[in-house]
Structure 1
Amino acid sequence: MYDISGVNMSGTSLGKPRPLWQVIFLSVVTGMLYYGWYKWIIQEELRRYNGFGWSGTLCLAPFVFGVVIPQALRIFDPDVPGWFGWVSLLGVVWIYIVQFKLYQTVNELYRQAGMKPPLIVWWLFVPGLNLIVGLRQIHFLSKFWSEKQGVIVTDPLAENIPLLSGNA
């Protein structure tokens, strides 16, 4: 049983189901600001649920400092040295590390629940497939939270594209 806050009787905090269509829609209309929020909040939810893990801040701050700030400086200040752009590479590498860890965590949630892990983690490193595994992560994490809470969350976008929702 769960109370209205998504906490079960044993005190385990559950995450909020966020269907893929909703994450994509809100990310587009906010110029990707929602996606940043999404990445932050799911890390926080997973950390609370598991009792360990990386915080949303730890996952996003290196990306922001490594990618967003150096690129903004290069655009708005022509005196910033060219080598400073290499800092962005570190931010991109960090995001790959965070995504790798996230995909493993989602797979582990499924394993612990006695279900087949839905994500092929190595797809992260293949252009094109990295987008697919990212979309699958959004769908399957939402599905996991909805099943844990015993609620039905429909995701017509993912459910109509077998590559995104299939876990045979």
Structure 2
Amino acid sequence: MSPARSFLALLCLPSTAALVAPRTRPARATALHADADAISDFCKGTNAFWKSLIIPVVRDYADVKPKGTADVDDFLSVVTAAPETPGIPRPVWLTIAASVPTGLIWYGWYKYSASSRQLFQYELETEGRVSGCGGYGTLFPFVFGVIIGGPLALVGFSGGDAILEAAGLWILLGQVNLYRRVNDCFPGEEPLHAWWALLPPPLDVVVGLRQVHFLSEFWKKERSLPAGGDAVAEKYFPFISAPRFTLKEFARTPSMWFWFTKDWDDFDVPILKD
């Protein structure tokens, strides 16, 4: 099975499982567990393969450490800390403050560390199997695809564009899957619409910021830390921390957009009603 099809199967699995009652369909439930195990094996194998290509000194630094390994009492310590499990909370304000000055380079580290790698290890320790390809298996196929496909496309090699497109598809499917996995951290109160990752800007940015916020809140809970405290997500851009909403609700509710629109009335437009 191709990587893209494997990821699509992964994305469809939770919704399929929800339609099946194990008590009345034991054979089907067993098949779903087998599928989950197969997906887990694929994800672990993919992560292990790409991890083997990384030089040892980088690999040793980037490997997941036990809780409390890093001193995370200040900004610099948090942004440079290696992944831990449970994960280190990295709120929206910190993610923006570290990403913008570095031209989003640090954001790549965040996607590897705070999202994919820590969730991968957390799933492995709590459930015994994983539903994502980890930091190595998610980020590095994209990186290598750009490094190889970019120059080939520039010199007119016919396969260069295909490699770039495959790399883009891989990272996009990884984003959708990441949002699904963050939702799994909030059973019954799923905060994200995972498919919004497929929407054009700025809506894909909206769900991306919400993922950063809610994953940070989840790690706070796992570490018994106080919830909240992120002014960017809770005060200045309240849509980031708002409960799950639809596209129409977002469009008609300016009070959740920005701090300076918080007192605006909702738009009474028929097309924006759910």
Which interval holds the TM-score relative to the shorter structure? 0.7 to 0.9
AA aligned opposite 2:162: W
- Gaps spanning 5+ residues in structure 2: where? 1-65, 71-83, 245-274
2:210–2:241 CA contact under 8 A, matched in 1: yes
SS at match of 1:81: coil
Pick closer, same or farther for the CA change 1:166–1:5 going to 2, 3 Å: same
Deviation at 1:85, TM superposition (A): 2.6
Q: Higher relative contact order by CA 8 Å / sep ≥ 6: 1 or 2?
A: 1
- Gaps spanning 5+ residues in structure 1: where? 7-11
Percent of matched pairs sharing the same residue: 35
What is the total number of aligned residue pairs between the two structures? Answer: 156
**Corresponding position of 1:9:** none
Deviation at 1:66, TM superposition (A): 1.8
Q: Does 1:63 align with 2:142?
A: yes
**Corresponding position of 2:175:** 99
Alignment of 1:13-162 (within 5 A): 13-41=85-113, 42-51=115-124, 52-53=129-130, 54-71=133-150, 73=151, 79-81=155-157, 83-111=159-187, 116-127=189-200, 128-152=202-226, 154-160=229-235, 161-162=237-238
SS at match of 2:87: coil
TM norm structure 2: 0.52
24-33 vs 102-111, greater mean Cα deviation? 24-33
CA distance in 2, matches of 1:16, 1:23: 12
Deviation at 1:86, TM superposition (A): 2.9
AA aligned opposite 2:163: V
CA distance in 2, matches of 1:47, 1:15: 10
TM norm structure 1: 0.82
CA distance in 1, matches of 2:184, 2:176: 12
Pick closer, same or farther for the CA change 1:3–1:163 going to 2, 3 Å: closer
1:13–1:48 CA contact under 8 A, matched in 2: yes
Deviation at 1:3, TM superposition (A): 6.4
Runs of 4+ in 1 over 4 A off after TM superposition: none
